[in-house]
Structure 1
Amino acid sequence: MRRVILLAVFIGGIMLACQDAAFLDDTQTTNLNEGTVFADSTYATQFFFGIFEDIGFDSDPGRFSDGNAFSPARSGGLDGGSDEAEPRAIPTITTNVQFATGTVNSVIVSKDAWDVCYRNIRRTNQFLKHIDITPFQPALKTQLVSETRFLRAWYYAILLKHYGGIPLIGDTIYSPNDKILAVRNTYQECVDYIVSECDIAAANLITRPVARDHGRIGAGACKALKARVLLYAASPLFNGSGFAPEPLTSIVGYPTADPNRWKLAAEAAQAVISLNAYRLHVNNSPPGEGFYEEFVAKDFQSSNAYSGTILERVATDGNYEERLWQPPSRGGGQGGAYPYHDLVNAFGMANGKAITDPNSGYDSQNPYANRDPRLNNSINHDQSLMPAVLQGPRVPIDIFLGNYQGRQAGQDAVRAGTPTGYYVNKMLLRVIVANGFITGPASRPLMRYAEVLLNYAEAKNEFDGPTQEVYDAVEAIRERAGLSPFTLAAGLSKDAMREIIRNERRLELAFEGHRFFDVRRWMIADQTENQTMTGMEVVRTDSTASYNVFNVRKHNFRDAMYFWPIPYAETAKSPELLQNPYY
């Protein structure tokens, strides 16, 4: 599957280098055209897999760059536009920096969400239009149609969470001379369309493709996307929040609130759980090892492979994330963002208590001891263990100022290699470094079973309160995390459970593209994004160590930033395309 996708991406990139408006026109170098491509099974397959190429672009940890197609300077992903991480400094002011500083507007915002999604929606429509002439067996045609409809729903869902209601084009394929009426559909129409497409796609797909079919779309992925979209649809921002004046009220959300939307979201997540096709990978020897292994210990031939992963961007072995996130001494620092100390503080202790709890055992002079195991598996801090050179024994990295056992502060130090005193460690293989020739699993999860459990817990708690089912879902996450005890206090209120669930999402799903949108749909971004973010400076001598918190960047948030602005180039050429509120 991975080899097929790589071949498809390579050949598909050549085929699709032309503008979408001039689909596979005859040129001096090829006789390929729309008819010949889809009448040939090899070309048609390559075209189909080309639609997968962009499936994970929105949560890519190196999403934003200076635009250089050959050697881009990257500033990180959406984590750098939220309270998770500080963007990497590059000469270009990228969109994540614009969101962090409150300066984003429709002229300078990245067009990637709009362009990439509609480009691929057009591709799905092209494939569906010509499926009848492709020389595939009927069963394969049915499968490919269902997978394509999922992909179309997937790209619409990305548009929806960025902009609110967007134009739904159905099966239309516009030509260069067509007048495109870019009228935005209501939020409800968009949700209903995506949900319907997910239901239709799921009906003709197996639950979870494994072994040689690993990486294909299954019914479980369709149901998980439906659950995610319905969770968003039930959230405060989209439920009678009064955020947007007319005529945008019904475009960016439902005009009135309805608590039954939480019920629909809970039922959709329960449908995924009831498949019994996924599980959390629990291995607490040592504590939290299962959390690490879910991202990197991958067996393509096993029927249990990726049992906690529902959908991912499949890739061959490599070191892309290592190059983005590892310290400079290991060849990293090439485009990933840097975790804030504020996120580190959100991780509790191994006993499940918050570090602010006086009974937690937290020691400010030994701040990384006995913490939630997800902290070390997600973030590298001073004295974290990493391979020494290329591949070898793990040794402490030095992210400090001063002298310690004869070692001087080096290129990895705070304010040298990292502006916050931290590096991301999530999804990185412990035995490889980016400056070596050894590679490891490079596929990146896009939907995980852990998210489904948290989706279910949130929706169920909002509709029914903290029932036993809510406790069970949250405690399953905490058990796999390696907390001991992993159980929650009995008799929690709905409000108390809500805060626990939100924090669990912050920790469990860190650096996977969720936090940026979570704080918006909860309508708390005016709090989380309006504060001065901090880092950690460690000063060591031969006999002492001190831990000093310092200011990194003041984040600024304004109400307009609950949504992305539609790119000015789009609204300028289509006056009927209404801009989002306050831009």
Structure 2
Amino acid sequence: MLLKKYILCGLFAASLTAFTGCDDLFRDTPVDKMSEKDIWKNPMLLDEYVLPWYRNMNSGFSTYVPTTISLVKSASRYYMPWFGDQIVPSKNDYYNAGYGDLLKSNTKEITNWAQVQWSNYYTQIQSVNRLFVNQGEIAEGSQKQRILGEAHFFRAYYYYMLWRQFGGVMLIQEPLDPLNDSRKYPRASYEEMVRAIVDDARAAATVLPLEYDATDEGRITQGAALMLVAKTFQWASSDVFQNQEKTYLGFSDDRSHDMLDSARVAYETLMGLQHYDLIQIAGTDEESIKQEYRNIFLTKNSKESILEVQHSDDGNYDTGFGHKLDRDAAAPHFTGTTAAYTPTQNHVDEYGMRAGLTYDAQHPYVGRDYRFYANILYDGSTYNGHVMDIHYTREGNNEIPGEDLTAYGTSTTAAVTRTGYYMGKFVNEKQQINNDEAYASSQNYIIWRYAEVLLDYAEVMFRLGNTEAARTQVNAIRRRVHMDELPSLTWEQLVNERRVELAFEETSYWDFFRWGIAEEKLNGTSNPLKAMKIVKRGETTTYSISNMNRFPQRVRVFQKMQYYLPIPWDEIRYHGIDQNPDWVEV
């Protein structure tokens, strides 16, 4: 696919961007050693110019977890669900520096990490603004229309990302060089942020196609632009953003109903395209449902997909944009040494029982929601022909760990699951894991899919008081996996359905923020992560759930001020704007 080919070879702008302060924030996007006019006039260079917008919207499964503190500021790429409560890395090295410092609310490292995010987003916005200024130099035609649509989308998208993490920021819609331009910008209000994001996203939706041919598969579509409109209104509707004293932290009055109704219209417009649909599951037994559901997340750019990070088909992550998901998620039987994606008992407990069955603590993995078997590798489950061995065998006073609790190889840092589980969702049983670490996995990273549309719409309708409409959407999700339909719907059931269907996807993490429950859910004291330990002795099996907080390095701390990250202090001084609450310069 041409887009993926460009992503592999045309990242000169993305690879050269780095910021140190406010002067850098508005620095011209690098364009190698050619003049800008060459870019606007050359169709190939023009396509390469937009590629960093794609490459920087999300790292996908291409994560980098530094174990040296000095690297955190410059090179950290994390899998955001690691900061939630559904999945955690089990490797000690991850906790000893960068990731662990963020998890424990180290304000210095959060400040450094926030600057990386801020700089990345504004780099892309600056690049988009430059293209708009020079659009008159671009030859008329379908390419120009598409690129202008992409530009509108990405400016909206990057402001959406800034808004979620920093609140109202400076809305800059033209190239700016502070060395030659003395303009300063105030922080935008929530009203202004919503308007700017929605206007750009709607402009994108009016010119972008519903789909592309194979050469451009993976580019931004009309559906993705409409999803961004809907997501913006949904985020703005949250109760925590109403009646705020500072308008850059929320609305001065209560706009929740207006925002909800706008979200309703946006989601109905998106659904009305009749272009996206759930991938249905034909099988009716546990094994076939498991496999078909798991395959949904291995199918690139399916009819359920709205926006995905396009990872390299060959999996190369030295010269391309592959990743190491399968290698990093693998159990010791498959030569795994990282155990980077281990589901928690907290999440396992979210899977309900099938109709007519009740939970049995002595047989905890029998009769669960079919999605449990697809998403979780548990003791006794079968994966790639191997029966997962995640239990201890008691012999006298000794507990002998099973194969998948015994570190593979001779490395002293090799890890095994600390939770009692390995990840089944996203991983590919057919992926070979060998000694050639240049090649690994190629699954795309899903940002938005149609199941999320239905669940978002259900939430919007529930909050508008139409619980029957909400129940209809939830039951569509449940029918797909052959789960019984709910006769009525509570808020708790709606939330749980989101948590199960969108397991390990970033949405579940950000839900904590817009619902105002991050302090509760991301703190180890109020929501300790839990692990399962299974011990077999003769015919007796003991299942024990423990609190992972007993490992000091894994203590999770979330302070109220972390609802908004600190704006880089150089920007605070340069523009003369307020810092987010409670942050002080370190």
Residue of 196, 203, 206 corresponding to 1:203: 206
**Residues 440-490 of structure 1: CA deviation (Å, up to 9, x unaligned):** 6421111101111111000111013302x212111011112331x2x1124
Match of 1:356 in 2: none
Give, as a single letter, the amino acid of the residue that structure 2 aligns with 1:504. E
Whether 1:560 aligns to 2:561 is yes
Q: Secondary structure at the match of 2:152?
A: helix
Q: Give, in angstroms, the shift of residue 502 of structure 1.
A: 1.2
Q: Secondary structure at the match of 1:514?
A: helix
Whether 1:519 aligns to 2:512 is yes
Match of 1:582 in 2: 582
Whether 1:223 aligns to 2:226 is yes
Q: Secondary structure at the match of 2:579?
A: coil
Whether 1:434 aligns to 2:433 is yes
Give, as a single letter, the amino acid of the residue that structure 2 aligns with 1:281. I
Cα pair distance change 1:338/1:222, threshold 3 Å: same
Residue of 113, 121, 143 corresponding to 2:117: 113
- Tell me the TM-score normalised to structure 2 length: 0.84
Match of 1:545 in 2: 541
**Residues 370-429 of structure 1: CA deviation (Å, up to 9, x unaligned):** 211222222222233223xxxxxx21122222269x995235459950221222222111
Residue of 163, 167, 171 corresponding to 2:170: 167
Whether 1:397 aligns to 2:388 is yes
Whether 1:282 aligns to 2:300 is no
Match of 1:450 in 2: 451
Match of 2:248 in 1: 251
User: Is the CA contact 1:341–1:420 (under 8 Å) kept in the aligned structure 2?
Assistant: yes
Q: Give, in angstroms, the shift of residue 320 of structure 1.
A: 2.6
Whose helix fraction is larger, Structure 1's or Structure 2's?
A: 2
Cα pair distance change 1:108/1:198, threshold 3 Å: closer
**Residues 528-581 of structure 1: CA deviation (Å, up to 9, x unaligned):** 23322111111124533221111112533332122223244543x436232212
CA distance in 1, matches of 2:78, 2:541: 31
Q: Secondary structure at the match of 2:11?
A: helix
Cα pair distance change 1:402/1:416, threshold 3 Å: farther
CA distance in 2, matches of 1:15, 1:439: 23
Match of 2:267 in 1: 269
Whether 1:385 aligns to 2:388 is no
Match of 1:7 in 2: 6
CA distance in 1, matches of 2:507, 2:527: 19
Q: Give, in angstroms, the shift of residue 199 of structure 1.
A: 0.8
**How do residues 21-36 of structure 1 correspond to structure 2 at under 5 angstroms?**
23=28, 31-36=33-38
CA distance in 1, matches of 2:435, 2:282: 30
- Tell me the TM-score normalised to structure 1 length: 0.84
CA distance in 2, matches of 1:226, 1:409: 49
Match of 2:44 in 1: 42
**How do residues 74-85 of structure 1 correspond to structure 2 at under 5 angstroms?**
76-85=78-87
User: Is the CA contact 2:3–2:217 (under 8 Å) kept in the aligned structure 1?
Assistant: no
User: Is the CA contact 1:77–1:337 (under 8 Å) kept in the aligned structure 2?
Assistant: no
User: Is the CA contact 1:125–1:173 (under 8 Å) kept in the aligned structure 2?
Assistant: no
Match of 2:343 in 1: 339
CA distance in 2, matches of 1:273, 1:125: 31
Give, as a single letter, the amino acid of the residue that structure 2 aligns with 1:163. F
User: Is the CA contact 1:74–1:335 (under 8 Å) kept in the aligned structure 2?
Assistant: no
**How do residues 485-496 of structure 1 correspond to structure 2 at under 5 angstroms?**
485=484, 487-490=485-488, 492=489, 496=490
Match of 2:503 in 1: 510
CA distance in 1, matches of 2:56, 2:274: 29
Q: Secondary structure at the match of 2:233?
A: helix
Cα pair distance change 1:192/1:413, threshold 3 Å: farther
CA distance in 2, matches of 1:333, 1:411: 10
Cα pair distance change 1:238/1:413, threshold 3 Å: farther
CA distance in 2, matches of 1:92, 1:569: 29
CA distance in 2, matches of 1:171, 1:44: 19
**Residues 343-391 of structure 1: CA deviation (Å, up to 9, x unaligned):** 110111233xxxxxxx74212122112211222222222233223xxxx
Give, as a single letter, the amino acid of the residue that structure 1 aligns with 2:266. A
CA distance in 1, matches of 2:65, 2:229: 27
Match of 2:552 in 1: none
Give, as a single letter, the amino acid of the residue that structure 1 aligns with 2:581. P
Give, as a single letter, the amino acid of the residue that structure 2 aligns with 1:417. V
User: Is the CA contact 1:25–1:33 (under 8 Å) kept in the aligned structure 2?
Assistant: no
Residue of 139, 143, 148 corresponding to 1:140: 143
Cα pair distance change 1:214/1:24, threshold 3 Å: closer
**How do residues 464-483 of structure 1 correspond to structure 2 at under 5 angstroms?**
464-467=465-468, 469-483=469-483
Give, as a single letter, the amino acid of the residue that structure 2 aligns with 1:152. R
Q: Give, in angstroms, the shift of residue 92 of structure 1.
A: 6.5
User: Is the CA contact 2:339–2:417 (under 8 Å) kept in the aligned structure 1?
Assistant: no
Whether 1:374 aligns to 2:335 is no
CA distance in 2, matches of 1:121, 1:453: 30
CA distance in 2, matches of 1:93, 1:10: 35
**Residues 98-148 of structure 1: CA deviation (Å, up to 9, x unaligned):** 4543444553544332121111111212223333323x4422211110111
Match of 1:423 in 2: 422
CA distance in 1, matches of 2:36, 2:305: 36
Q: Give, in angstroms, the shift of residue 80 of structure 1.
A: 1.9
User: Is the CA contact 2:65–2:94 (under 8 Å) kept in the aligned structure 1?
Assistant: no
Cα pair distance change 1:43/1:328, threshold 3 Å: farther
Greater CA drift, 74-83 or 86-95: 86-95
CA distance in 1, matches of 2:28, 2:240: 39
Whether 1:125 aligns to 2:116 is no
Whether 1:409 aligns to 2:406 is no
Q: Secondary structure at the match of 2:249?
A: coil
CA distance in 2, matches of 1:502, 1:151: 29
CA distance in 2, matches of 1:509, 1:365: 28
Cα pair distance change 1:421/1:25, threshold 3 Å: closer
Cα pair distance change 1:231/1:559, threshold 3 Å: same
Residue of 298, 306, 318 corresponding to 1:310: 306
Q: Give, in angstroms, the shift of residue 225 of structure 1.
A: 1.0
Which portions of structure 1, spanning 4 or more consecutive aligned residues, are displaced by more than 6 angstroms? Answer: 67-70, 72-75
CA distance in 2, matches of 1:399, 1:544: 16
CA distance in 1, matches of 2:56, 2:207: 24
CA distance in 2, matches of 1:121, 1:80: 27
Q: Give, in angstroms, the shift of residue 47 of structure 1.
A: 1.3
Q: Secondary structure at the match of 2:447?
A: strand
User: Is the CA contact 1:223–1:268 (under 8 Å) kept in the aligned structure 2?
Assistant: yes
User: Is the CA contact 1:340–1:535 (under 8 Å) kept in the aligned structure 2?
Assistant: yes
Give, as a single letter, the amino acid of the residue that structure 2 aligns with 1:132. G
Cα pair distance change 1:293/1:55, threshold 3 Å: same
Count of residues paired in the alignment: 541
Residue of 522, 525, 531 corresponding to 2:527: 531
Cα pair distance change 1:63/1:510, threshold 3 Å: farther
CA distance in 2, matches of 1:581, 1:76: 25
Residue of 319, 325, 330 corresponding to 1:326: 330
CA distance in 1, matches of 2:28, 2:106: 37
User: Is the CA contact 2:168–2:249 (under 8 Å) kept in the aligned structure 1?
Assistant: yes
CA distance in 2, matches of 1:73, 1:127: 27
User: Is the CA contact 2:276–2:305 (under 8 Å) kept in the aligned structure 1?
Assistant: yes
Give ranges in structure 1 of 5+ residues lacking alignment. 299-304, 352-358, 388-393
User: Is the CA contact 2:4–2:312 (under 8 Å) kept in the aligned structure 1?
Assistant: no
CA distance in 1, matches of 2:85, 2:220: 32
User: Is the CA contact 1:341–1:536 (under 8 Å) kept in the aligned structure 2?
Assistant: yes
Q: Secondary structure at the match of 1:383?
A: coil
